[in-house]
Structures are given as C-alpha cells and as structure tokens.
Structure 1
Amino acid sequence: MFGHEPRVFHLITRLLKGGAEAKTIATVQGLEGYEFTVGYGAEYDPDQVTTLERDGITTRQFRTIRHYNPVTTIPAVFAVARYIRKHEFDIVHTHSTEAGIIGRFAAALASTPAVVHTVHGVPFADDRNDLLERFVLACERRAATMSDRLVTNADAITADYLSYDIGTPDQYTTVYSGIDLDRFRDVTPAEDIDGDGVRLLMVGRLADGKGFDVFLDALEHLSRDNLSVYLVGDGPQREWLEREVRTRGLEATIDLLGYRSDIPEIMAACDVFVLPSYREGTPRVITEAMASGLPVVATDIAGIPEQVADGESGYLIQPGDDKALADRLEELIASREHRQAFGATGRERVEQFSDEHMVTELETVYQELLE
C-alpha cells in the first residue's frame, strides 16, 4: 500500500510532564512500523524532547501554538500546514484543545489523507471566560468535521462531547489511557516518605482546577494526629500552596515534594490517593495509584467513574465538596482492612488500563484509516 512506513505526525499543545504527553510518548514509542514525528507548542520540557529524540523520533517546535491564546491561532495554522504539506504525512494525530484545533485546520489545508484527534479531557468549564468558551466550542465543532476519528479516554467524555454537538457517534472510539503496570508492582517504598501514621498522597500539576483548595479544606475537618500528607508536583500554584499551608498551620502535616520522577516508589510508601479535581479526563495518575494498590478518593467527573468503582476500589465525591472528601478519608484512615480491600480491588480493575492495551487499540484505529 505504501512505498514507505506510514508517516504519522502527532501534534500537542504543550510537551510537559502531564498525562496527555505521557500517552502521546507511550504511543510513538510503543508502535512499530510507523515513522513518527512529534510537534509541540511554545511550552515544553527539554527532558521530554530528549526522551523522544533518543528513541529516534523527530520533534518540531511551533512557537505560535500557545495555551488558550486565540491571537496566535491563525499564524499557527499556516505554519503547521506548511510543515505537514512538506513532509507528506499519511496521518495527522492531534492532542489537547489548542493543538487539536490548529492541527486539524492545518491538516485540512494540507489535504492530509487521515486525521485523528484525541480528547484528553473536556475543555469546557463554568469558571472560564464566556467569550473564550464560545470560541473554543465553535472551533471544536468545526474541527470535528475535519476529523476521521475522535478518540476519547472514556465513554463519559464521548457522551459529553456529543451533548455539545461536536461530531457524530460514528466518529468516536474510546481508548483508555495506559501505563506500564509493571513499574508499580513489587516496588521498594521511597525512604523519604517517613511521616507518622496514615499517609495521604496527591500527585498532579500544581495548577488551578486540581482541587488543592478542597483538599486543604477537608484536612481542616480531620484529626491530624498520626496523619501525613504528601503533595507531589510543580506548577503555578506552588507559592499559593506554600502560603496556605503556613496560614492554616499545616506545616507539620503537609510536605510539598515538588516534581519527582520516582512516583511508583512514593505510591508504594503511601496509604490513600486523593484527587479532588474540578476538571479531568481519565487521569493516568489514578491508574498508577490503583496499580500500586492504593484506595482512591476522587471526584465523580469525566472518565474517573470508569476507573474507580465507588465503594469497591475507592470513593467518588462531587467537585468542591470538602466535607464529603473529609468523611470518606476519615473512613479509610480509621481502617487498615478497609484500605487493603479497596486496594486489592483496584489492582484487579487496572488490567484494562495497561499501555500495551492502549497501543493495540490505537494501532487498530490507524490501520482502519490507512486501509
């Protein structure tokens, strides 16, 4: 069919160390028989670029692709279209909101044979500028008409997008985000996670929408005797969190560990995983916690209910409900047997979220389009 390996161009808004980036990198590293290029916008982590290039994957930065910056959108479309046309890609696979819109308009201009877009999370939220929300929605609806396949991380996200009249049901395929499950099994616990009593863990970018405020409010409802809390990650809310911890007198309870590369070891040293986000897709970090045998307390949004069985492998709460979060944590803190039972169930459920399964499902999408 081809005189060459199929050329696939992945385009993502930011190449940082988040879940969308991890899924993209796992895909291009895990699939054989394709020639991959990964494009990214103004924000990137040099380590991620090095990881890709070390594996022989071409990378290309587009400085005009910026997070929620409509002003640079049109120049970015033309820059990406020129690049796609020059390299004659067989598939353009876009990720995240900005790159998804820019990349699909560019692919249409370049007459790319097949276009795939992965929705990593629902970008619409009540706390954002209304004019920007309407602009993004209009762009998403138009870009969907330029897509051969729309891949979501959960059935719930597909339903949400269809409720906004984005695309048609036959365009959608659910592919759960996968991880390397073996990295989270039989792990030696991190030695510096040495707090007293039950250890609560939250891992994520320190940014608006992750629910750090809810977590701090919940902690104020709990007895903090024999309780240690670890927050792992970095981001724009770091200084705010440090101030809040001091203001609330939580210095003896909470450790802000910053960015860490030893997440499996940290999880192995903790007892309960918490993620009270306002916005998510299907968070890889929840899958990692389940693979580590941790009970999970998270919000009942997007694809999280497809990961966490409420009352079986963890608890689901409504976004912003600090009292419910405190109540559920109190139950788990009080009973080691309860924590172990939930953790065991999570380990059983997590098999469907392996990276091998994810890559196989995505290859099926590619093959269907190439044929």
Structure 2
Amino acid sequence: MRIVQLITQARGGPVDHAVEMALAFAERGHDSHLIGPPGDYADRLRGSSAHWHGAAMSGALDLRGGRAVVRHLARLRPDVLHAQDRRAGLLGRLWARRATPCVYTLHGVPDSLADLVPGNVAVAPRRRRDGLAYLRAERQLARLSGSVVVTPCEAVATYARRHVGVPADRVVVVPNGVAVDVTVDAAIDAAGDTGGNTGGDTGHDRAVRAARGADPTPDTTAPLAVWLGVMAPVKRVDLLVRAVAQVPGLRLRLVGDGPERAVVEATIDALHLRDRVELTGFLAEPEAALAEADLFVLPSAAEACPLALLQAMALGLPAIVTRAGGLPEVVRDGVEGLLVETDDVRALTTALDRLARDPALRSLLGDAARARALSDLTAARCADRLLDVYREVAR
C-alpha cells in the first residue's frame, strides 16, 4: 500500500507522530511517504525506507506552497492520503475528494473552542468566526471528501461528533503511540554520556534501569519533577511554578519554549525559585532530560493524548496530570499517576508534595505507567490500528 502523510508544520506533536508512523509503515513493508516543510524531523527519515518530500505551505492562502504539495500528491498517487494537521486537512481533503481514500487526524482543537471538549476548560475567548472557520468548515470537509476523522482520544471524538457534526461512523479513536525503543535508547545513551554514577543513585540512573526492566532503587537526592511542551497559556506552566514554590526541596525542570516563557520566568523570579527551577529551552531529543527526573507533571487546561506524557510513562515516570480532555484516558488516578482538577493550585501542590515525599509510591506508579505505555501506547500498536483504518477506507 502506498501511504502518503501530509504535514504543514515543522515542529510539534503531530510532526513527531507523523514521523513515527512513516517509519512504522515502512517497517511493515508499505511504500511510506511524508510530505512536509524542511525541518529537523526529516533527518530521522533519511537513511530509512520511508521517503520525505519537501514542500512548505505557510498558510491556507499560500498558493505557491499549495501547488508544490499538489504536485507531489499527483506524482505519488497514494492509495491512502493521511493529513496530520489542520492546514494539511484542508488541502489534502480538497485534493482527494472521493477519488483518493483520505484520513484526517484531529489532534486537538483551537484554544477558543477548547471548552467544547469534555474535561477541558476555557482557554481563549470565543470569536465570532470560529463557528464558521472550525465547525461548519470542518463538517463540510468531512462530508465532501468522504474522509475518516481519526482522534487520539474519546474526548476529542465526542467533540467531533457533537459539535462539528462528523457522522459517528466516520470518527475513529486511535490513541497516539510512543516509539519505545527510541525513547529508551536515548535515555541509555544519555546515561553513558554522563560518565556514570559518581556517588549516590540519581533519577537518571533509575529511569534508565526502569526502561531496561530493572527495579528502581530508593531515592537519596532531592526529587526532580519535569514538564515538557510548548510554553503557551493552555499549558498553565506559571501555575505549576507557583505550586512547586509551596513544596520545599522539590526541583523542577521545564523543557520547552514558547510565547509564555517571559511570564514563566517572571513568576520564577518573583518567587525566588532560580535555584530550584531549570529552564532548558527547546530540546529536539528530550529523552535525556526526562530520564533524569523522578516524576512528570502536566497541568494543562486542555489536552488530547500528548506524546510528552507517553514518553515519560515509557521511561517509568509517574505522572501528575489534570482531568483535561483525554488525559484521564491515559493516566488512571492512583494507578499510573495522580489526577488533579484543572486550575487548582492547591490540589496540584498536594499531589506534588505527596509524590515528592514518597519514593515507594513513585516507584509503584512509575512501574504501572511504564507497563501501560509498553502494552497499549506504543508507536507499533498505533501504526497497526491506523493500517486497519486505511484498509477499511480503501474498501
């Protein structure tokens, strides 16, 4: 089967997901292609049996970029076209119509519509044009193209059926998956780069051993919490910093960058936390930063099935997450981690303090998190589910 995936972004969760799927499809013997703008992600495809085709489309009205994408599609003539972001979904489905089987993954929703997803809270004011641009247009695209809409969680699927109006039989839930081997190998490589343990066990060493299947040892250092993502208002990173300030001794590592970084840094300075909070900026390979941690935190106001969370779970990290969107579908309270109410600083503080003080609980939840990631949330399992969708659409 010739599978062509289309992206118009160069960075982000949908891009990482598309790369993992392109590699997985190729490993299964399919003719796998990815069309997208130049970016670091393309390096992972070079030397593999998957193929990357460069085409940058800067906006919905970028006719030159759109023509470049269409030329690739016309030349490749895919058996199935899979659009992996909103702009790709617009162009891809208009090109495919009913002549080419088409799948579109709705990874998330605009911030102004976030509260329409069960579990999410309002993130940005609703604009008058949102209903036309994102609800009616999406409904018409789904019907015009005959495409199947894939969502990474049931919460977003409910939004697609209830608010967009996509027919229920055209919506399929396929959770994202993490490339376990890549995540674990990166953590192990990072452990080797540190020159080994020089006295006392570290969260880094424990995570690598957990990734290899070994039992973690008791903590002997101040615990380290890690957050990974884009610093945008929806992520509530400033709220996380305020919560950490109330947990004595807990250290925090923030991996990522974005428009809210200045706000986050101002909060850190106002609370005099420079000695306990580290900002790494964007890391193309964040596995090493995750592997050094004792727990993972995601206090978002809106989420679907974030790869950052799956990466952390694959490394055996217990997670503290909000009840936003699809997060409760991934982390069960008291099993793989702790669930807290969104925008509740007190609840977040209590959960952080609980895990910071209890290494045994961290170990228990971390083991369950890793088991869940390895059994249900791998890239291989995700690829197999998508291939089933492709075969059905092709029929």
> Would you say same fold, with TM above 0.5?
yes
Partner of 2:163: 164
Equivalent position SS for 2:224? strand
How do 1:350-369 and structure 2 match up within 5 A?
A: 350=373, 351-369=375-393
Kindly report which structure 2 residues correspond to 1:199-210, keeping only aligned pairs within 5 A, or say none.
199-210=224-235
CA distance in 2, matches of 1:90, 1:162: 26
Does residue 30 of the first structure (1) align with residue 24 of the second (2)?
yes
Cross-structure match for 2:278: 255
Aligned positions of 1:115-130 closer than 5 A: 115-123=102-110, 124-125=113-114, 126=122, 127-130=124-127
Residue 236 of structure 1: SS of its match in structure 2?
A: coil
- Aligned-pair CA distance for 1:122: 2.9
Displacement of 1:79 in angstroms is 5.9
Say if 2:36 is the partner of 1:40.
yes
Task: Give the deviation of 1:53 after TM superposition.
Answer: 3.9
Change (3 A) 1:234 1:24: same
User: Once the two structures are superposed, what CA deviation does each residue of 1:19-46 show, in whole Å capped at 9, x if it has no partner?
Assistant: 21111111111113433332235xx53x
Q: Tell me by how many angstroms 1:49 deviates.
A: 2.3
SS of 2:234 mapped into structure 1: coil
Partner of 1:246: 269
- Per-residue deviation, residues 90-131 of structure 1 (Å, max 9, x unmatched): 2221112222123212322xx532010112123323405513
Q: Matched residue of 2:376: which SS?
A: helix
Deviations 1:135-180 (A, max 9, x none): 1112211111124322111122211211114311111222211112
Match of 2:99 among 112, 115, 118: 112
Counterpart in the other structure of 1:341: 364
* Worse overlay, 303-312 or 203-212: 203-212
Equivalent residue letter for 1:364: D
Distance 1:263 1:343, change over 3 A: same
2:318 alignment partner in structure 1: 295
| Aligned 8 A contact 2:247 2:349 in 1 | no
d(CA) in 2 for partners of 1:364, 1:88:
20
SS of the residue 1:251 aligns to: coil
Q: For the structure 1 residues 209 and 91, does the alpha-carbon distance in structure 2 shift closer, same or farther, using more than 3 Å as the test? A: same
Task: Give structure 2 stretches of 5+ with no counterpart.
Answer: 115-121, 195-201, 205-219
Letter in 1 for 2:24: G
TM-score, scaled to structure 2? 0.81
Amino acid at match of 1:133: D
State the partner residue of 2:242: 217
What is the SS of the residue equivalent to 1:280? coil
* Unaligned 5+ runs, structure 1: 1-5
SS in 1 for 2:159: helix
C-alpha displacement of 1:367: 2.1
**In the alignment, residue 200 of structure 1 is paired with which amino acid?**
A
Kindly tell me: are residues 277 and 159 of structure 1, through their superposed partners in 2, closer, same or farther at Cα, counting changes over 3 Å? same
Partner of 1:228: 251
Structure 2 distance, partners of 1:49, 1:132, is 35
Does the CA-based 8 Å contact 1:122-1:161 persist in structure 2? no
Aligned length: 353
RMSD (Å) for aligned C-alpha atoms: 2.6
What's the counterpart of residue 306 of structure 1? Answer: 329
Deviation at 1:232, TM superposition (A): 0.9
CA distance in 2 between partners of 1:202 and 1:240 (Å): 16
Aligned partner letter, 2:73:
I
Match of 1:174 in 2: 173
Q: Match of 1:20? A: 14
Q: 1:182 to 1:361 in 2, by over 3 A?
A: same
CA 157–318 in structure 1, closer or farther in 2 if over 3 Å, else same: same
In the TM superposition, 1:125-204 aligns within 5 A as: 125=114, 126=122, 127-134=124-131, 135-145=133-143, 146-185=145-184, 187-188=187-188, 191=194, 197-204=222-229
Q: Which residue of 2 aligns with 1:49?
A: 42
Deviations 1:43-87 (A, max 9, x none): x53x212333443513132334x3xxx6x2777666644553354
Deviating more after overlay: 158-167 vs 50-59: 50-59
Corresponding residue of 1:3: none
Distance 2:141 2:302 in 1: 22
Letter in 2 for 1:150: V
Counterpart contact for 1:53–1:59, Cα < 8 Å: no
What is the alpha-carbon distance in structure 2 between the residues aligned to residue 48 and residue 230 of structure 1? Answer: 24
Deviations, residues 335-367 of structure 1 (Å, cap 9, x unaligned) = 111211111221222220111111111112222
Q: State the Cα distance separating 1:132 from its structure 2 match.
A: 4.0
Contact kept, 8 Å, 1:122 with 1:281, in 2: the verdict is no
Please give the alpha-carbon distance, in whole angstroms, between the structure 2 residues aligned to 1:183 and 1:29.
12
Q: What do residues 223-265 of structure 1 show as CA deviations (whole Å, max 9, x unaligned)?
A: 33x2211111233333333333223311011010123355333
SS in 2 for 1:267: helix
How far has the Cα of 1:327 moved from its partner?
Answer: 1.3
Other-structure match for 2:53: 59
